[in-house]
Each structure stands twice: as C-alpha cells, then as structure tokens.
C-alpha cells in the first residue's frame, strides 16, 4: 500500500518536474527588477486593451518580495503536485469533498457580481483552502492580512471569516483539515469549477494565471442561451 503511494508520488514528481522547472525559472527572472518592471507593464497594457478580460483578477507581481526563494519554490511545487494528483476531471464525476460550514451569516467577492447575475441558473460556493501566502511561508507583504498557515480548524475558520467579510453575499465554507477539497480539485492557489448534476462541466486552470472569471461567464452565457433556445422550441 505504502509502496504504491510512494511510487505514485515519485511518478507525480517526475511528471511535474519540467513544468515546475519552467515556473521556477520564471520566478528567478522576476527577481531582476528590469524583468519585473517589464512584465508588470505588459500586464497593465493587456488589461487596458482587453476590456473583456477586465473582470479577471490581474496577475499580482506587485510586491517587492523575492519571488525565487525556498518558500516560493515549495509553494509552487505543492501547487503543481496537487494539480497532477487531483481527482476532479472535466466531464467526470465531481468529487464530493468534505467541507466545514462557518456557522456565521453567509457572505461573498469580484466574483460576487457574476454570482448575482447568474443566480437564476447557478448556485455559487466558495471553499476557503490553505493559505497561498502564509506569514510563515511564501510571505507576501502586499496581502491585506498576515495569516499563518492554519494549525487547527479554529484557525482556518477564523481566517475564512475574514474572507467572508471581503465578499458579502457569497456562500463560503472551509476546507477540512485533511484538505480534502484542495486535494480533490487541485485548488491551490485558487481555481474555478462548474459542477452540474454531479459532473465537472467546467474546469478552470490552476490559479492565479489560470483563474479566469471571464471563462466562467462565457460558459454560463452559453448555458443560459441553450436553456432559452430549449424553452422556445417547446
């Protein structure tokens, strides 16, 4: 049993190695101020050009922290590994992972507007997972809160309540301390999914670069259109 697990782990490490090395190289480049400035300017330009992409949160490389560090490499490797090992696959059964309710009024975010606009066809749920930039890990001085990696469910729940405050109106639950949702959905750093009748029908890319609210909107628009056409035909 353990051997299979170890083998699976080793295989995963091998498979993600090339992608991880590319990501690590990019982080290393970003530590050169001239490269960082150039990338930032390009990102800003793209945002201005492309109005449709507007609602996608900008890729944040704004802080002065070093991008290439032991902590950042560990975090990126962890993300790649989760992505590879996740059980959620497009078109397959959506994993019903364990979550923890916050036992507080439900609330929600940038995402909020979309949730409201599509509330007639979709229910939204935010699952708060482990911290991407904990104060005791790959720290980000830009982050609005300094939260250490959760050591207990209480710590995770109180951090998720902070998130709930930022996003009123969104239903939020917390991942279990076994990180079941994070593992099943390869959610780290952040990720979007649409589940319909228990099946994964939309799978967003690994965040932050793959986190695209515009893609979600596009899927929902198409779906709404199909529903309308179906009604007209009846």
Ligand X SMILES: *[C@@H]1O[C@H](CO)[C@@H](O)[C@H](O)[C@H]1NC(C)=O
Contact 77, 15 (CB under 8 A): no
Closer residue to ligand X, CB minimum distance, 124 or 150: 150
Q: What is the largest CA-CA distance in the chain?
A: 61
Six token digits for residue 148? 């250490």
Distance CA 51, CA 151 (A): 41
Q: Which is nearer to ligand X, 30 or 134 (CB)?
A: 134
Q: Which residues bind ligand X (CB under 6 A)?
A: 130, 149-150, 177-179
Report which residue's Cβ sits closest to ligand X.
130
3-state secondary structure of 99: strand
Task: Decide if 224 contacts 121 (C-beta within 8 A).
Answer: yes
Of 179 and 203, which CB lies nearer to ligand X in the complex structure? 179
How far apart are CB 152 and ligand X at their closest, in Å? 10
- What count of other Cβ atoms lies within 10 Å of the Cβ of residue 59? 15
Name the minimum Å distance from CB 85 to ligand X: 12
Q: Provide, rounded to whole angstroms, the least separation between the CB of residue 188 and ligand X.
A: 9
- Closest approach of Cβ 142 to ligand X, in Å? 20
Q: Which is nearer to ligand X, 83 or 215 (CB)?
A: 83
């Amino acid at each position: 049993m353990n051997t299979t697990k170890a083998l699976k782990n080793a295989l995963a490490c091998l498979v993600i190695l090339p992608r991880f090395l590319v990501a690590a190289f990019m982080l290393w480049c970003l530590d050169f101020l001239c490269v960082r400035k150039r990338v930032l300017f390009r990102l800003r330009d793209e945002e201005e050009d492309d109005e449709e992409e507007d609602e996608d949160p900008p890729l944040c490389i704004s802080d002065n922290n070093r991008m290439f560090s032991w902590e950042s490499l560990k975090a990126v490797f962890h993300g790649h590994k989760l992505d590879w090992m996740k059980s959620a696959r497009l078109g397959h059964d959506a994993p019903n992972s364990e979550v923890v309710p916050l036992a507080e009024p439900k609330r929600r975010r940038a995402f909020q507007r979309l949730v409201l606009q599509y509330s007639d066809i979709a229910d939204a749920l935010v699952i708060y997972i482990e911290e991407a930039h904990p104060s005791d890990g790959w720290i980000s001085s830009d982050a609005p809160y300094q939260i250490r990696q959760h050591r207990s469910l209480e710590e995770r729940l109180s951090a998720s309540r902070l998130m709930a405050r930022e996003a009123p109106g969104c239903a939020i639950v917390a991942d279990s301390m076994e990180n079941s949702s994070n593992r099943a959905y390869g959610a780290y750093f952040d990720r979007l999914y649409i589940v319909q009748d228990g099946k994964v029908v939309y799978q967003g890319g690994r965040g932050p670069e793959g986190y695209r609210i515009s893609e979600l909107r596009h899927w929902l628009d198409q779906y709404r259109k199909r529903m309308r056409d179906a009604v007209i035909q009846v």
